[in-house]
Structure 1
Amino acid sequence: MNWNFLLGPLVGAIIGYITNGIAIKMLFRPLNPITIGGYTLPFTPGVIPKEKKRLAKSIGRVVSRELLNEEVFRKALLKPEIYERLEEKVDYYIDTYQANDKKLGEIGNEFLGKERAIFLLCEAEENATSLIYTKVVNMEIGKIIVDKLIGTLKGGALSHLLGPMSFLVKDQMLDSLGDKIEPAISQMIVDEAEGIIRQAVEEESNNLKETSVGDWVTKLDPYRDIIKKVVIKSYEGLVRNGLSTALEKLDLAQMIEERIMAFDTLEMENLILEIMNKELNRLVWLGALLGGIMGCVMSFF
């Protein structure tokens, strides 16, 4: 047997195996630059430690632009499966809370604390009273009442009240009467309406506090399909109109870059080796194979 013929491929395979193994190691090692007399040795530190910041920035930019961009998020968030899950959640919460006997007031006290709940309820009552009162005053109800009353009297109601004597009352007299009583009615509304509205609001507020969650949710049950449509429409609008702003504020590229930079280089090496161990080993053995092939070729010369 010609051992010289085998020696070339064997040496080539060993050299290929070793060089590829060293090349892979040099991706991470050495972890820190090696200096001799103020001179930094070439290829130190390894490629990834040396270019970590640039790599982190590039990876963050590529991932945010190509892999996890706005369009990808939008498609994922607007899949039919998401809509189905939202409808299921609406059904789940309505069905679950219909059996809840807790009073709304009790739940408010649990979540907010009694003092805070009372404060917020009083504030809500005051705001509701103020809003309704302002609307009532601005509606000029006194004028509406008087105009309606005078119109009704002119339309024939006066003859039923006064009988044959109604011919004595002219339209001008009714208009003059309306002009006189309208300010009084309007002022009475300004003076009295706020107290009446406040009392009504407080009564409704107390009734609401004593209503159980189940009773309140049961009232919503007939509108279950409408609630689903509102929830889905709101969710869809949020995704379509708010996703761009959310991603801009999130700054995914910067987040990825910071996360990569936070990785310890040794920890990153272990992670990559754990993920790509088989592939990297194949590269090492591929180097041995190519070295062996080159050795065979050289043996013929």
Structure 2
Amino acid sequence: MSMIEILAGPVIGAVIGYCTNYIAVKMLFRPLKPVKIGDRTLPFTPGIIPRGQSRIARALGEAVGEHLLTKEDICGMLLAQETKETVVEAVAGRIRDIQDREDTLEEFLGHYVDREDYDSVKEHLEEFVTEKIGKGLEDLDVGTIIAEEGAKEVREKFSGSMVSMFLNDDLIRSIAVPIGNKVGEYIRENGREKIRPLVVGEIAAAENKPVAELMDSVPLKDEKIRELVEDAYVTFVTHHAEEIAGKFHVEQVVEEKVNQMDVLEVEHLLLGVMKKELNAVVNLGALIGFLIGLLNLLF
């Protein structure tokens, strides 16, 4: 048997294996559209990738959204030193700008809030502060305090005098307790009504003060401002990372982007990742064909 006859089988097997796998790989991407003969569509058309583009898009979206860009990844990106410094510097700079403003608080807020919303927020603030002070006075039980302190003052005032012989604790309590109860009742019924004008006046006074003056009343050095802003930013990101990640809708965005891509773009994308592996599959076909050809010589 000549050398050509010996090599013919393995070489033919290698060529067949190479061509078979090459065609199989090409059929992943080709044809791009269905091939029809009359009303019938040829099997395996379009190629596997064009036909399954929507499934690929969904799978990529799920992979990125669930495994590649998690809550921890979002949190890590937002808390990266460079990102954190950028945010802190921007906010701290804005606060420094506010500290130098000469317009009043009302004028300043007017740049960012329309009049209707401003008046609504102001009214709610007045009600909130009034309610808090009124509730605080009720919880403090001012009537009881007045009764106790009043009784104590009476005892001290008349201690050692002839009147003290007639002022025993029961008598003092019988006078002080009703007075204290009346005071407590008055606060519960009329406290908020009396407090509100004071609250409204204080808020109005604050509105008419320059922003710079209000900021000066709470003196903060630049370093302290940056520290407070950074703490607030870190706390916000840490507690809301999952919510922030959800706002990105990563899975949906990736799926939509892949679906919007042209089939050739998808092919280029996949080949960029898998080209070496696909070439290995083709070459493996040639190797297997060659080995099968050799086995035929032995048997």
Q: TM-score, normalised by structure 1?
A: 0.71
- Asked if 1:213 is matched to 2:211, the reply is yes
Counterpart of 1:209, as a letter, is: E
CA RMSD between the two structures: 4.3
SS for the counterpart of 1:204 is helix
- Asked if 1:233 is matched to 2:225, the reply is no
Q: Is this contact kept in 2: 1:108–1:114, CA < 8 A?
A: no
- Asked if 1:158 is matched to 2:158, the reply is yes
Look up the match of 2:80.
Answer: 79
Look up the match of 2:293.
Answer: none
Give distance in 2, aligned partners of 1:81 and 1:236: 13
Look up the match of 2:220.
Answer: 222
Counterpart of 2:59, as a letter, is: S
Give the gaps of 5 or more residues in structure 2.
1-19, 287-299
Task: Map Cα deviations across residues 217-238 of structure 1 (whole Å, 9 max, x no partner).
Answer: 3333427655544443343333
> How is 1:52-67 mapped onto 2 (pairs within 5 angstroms)?
52-67=53-68
Look up the match of 1:196.
Answer: 194
> Which residue, 238, 241, 244 being the options, matches 2:242?
244
Counterpart of 2:177, as a letter, is: D
CA shift, 1:147, in A, is 0.7
SS for the counterpart of 2:217 is helix
Look up the match of 1:68.
Answer: 69
Sort the Cα spacing of 1:208 and 1:266 in 2 relative to 1 into closer, same or farther, 3 A. farther
CA shift, 1:141, in A, is 0.6
Sort the Cα spacing of 1:109 and 1:235 in 2 relative to 1 into closer, same or farther, 3 A. closer
Look up the match of 1:148.
Answer: 149
CA shift, 1:203, in A, is 0.9
Counterpart of 1:62, as a letter, is: A
Look up the match of 1:108.
Answer: 109
> How is 1:2-151 mapped onto 2 (pairs within 5 angstroms)?
28-151=29-152
- Asked if 1:263 is matched to 2:261, the reply is yes
Give distance in 2, aligned partners of 1:174 and 1:200: 34
Decide which moves more: 253-262 or 84-93: 84-93
Decide which moves more: 206-215 or 185-194: 185-194
> Which residue, 172, 177, 180 being the options, matches 2:175?
177
Give distance in 2, aligned partners of 1:225 and 1:149: 50
Give distance in 1, aligned partners of 2:135 and 2:38: 85
CA shift, 1:111, in A, is 2.9
Task: Map Cα deviations across residues 114-173 of structure 1 (whole Å, 9 max, x no partner).
Answer: 23322331232123223322332343211111111212333x3333xx855444422222
Give the gaps of 5 or more residues in structure 1.
1-18, 292-301
SS for the counterpart of 2:100 is coil
Give distance in 2, aligned partners of 1:260 and 1:182: 76
CA shift, 1:24, in A, is 8.8
SS for the counterpart of 1:199 is helix
CA shift, 1:34, in A, is 0.8
Q: Is this contact kept in 1: 2:101–2:212, CA < 8 A?
A: yes
Task: Map Cα deviations across residues 10-40 of structure 1 (whole Å, 9 max, x no partner).
Answer: xxxxxxxxx9999998665543201113443
Percent of residue pairs bearing the same amino acid type: 28
Give distance in 2, aligned partners of 1:252 and 1:114: 38
Give distance in 1, aligned partners of 2:256 and 2:116: 43
Q: Is this contact kept in 1: 2:130–2:195, CA < 8 A?
A: yes
Give distance in 2, aligned partners of 1:216 and 1:105: 12
Counterpart of 2:239, as a letter, is: N
Give distance in 1, aligned partners of 2:47 and 2:111: 58
Give distance in 2, aligned partners of 1:69 and 1:45: 35
Give distance in 2, aligned partners of 1:88 and 1:65: 32
Sort the Cα spacing of 1:123 and 1:91 in 2 relative to 1 into closer, same or farther, 3 A. closer
CA shift, 1:98, in A, is 1.3
Q: Is this contact kept in 2: 1:94–1:221, CA < 8 A?
A: no
Sort the Cα spacing of 1:43 and 1:111 in 2 relative to 1 into closer, same or farther, 3 A. same
CA shift, 1:78, in A, is 2.2
Task: Map Cα deviations across residues 34-92 of structure 1 (whole Å, 9 max, x no partner).
Answer: 11134433553234311201211222222224432233222222223344334423431
Counterpart of 1:214, as a letter, is: A
Counterpart of 2:148, as a letter, is: D
CA shift, 1:97, in A, is 1.1
Q: Is this contact kept in 1: 2:92–2:229, CA < 8 A?
A: no
Give distance in 2, aligned partners of 1:251 and 1:118: 36
Look up the match of 2:289.
Answer: none
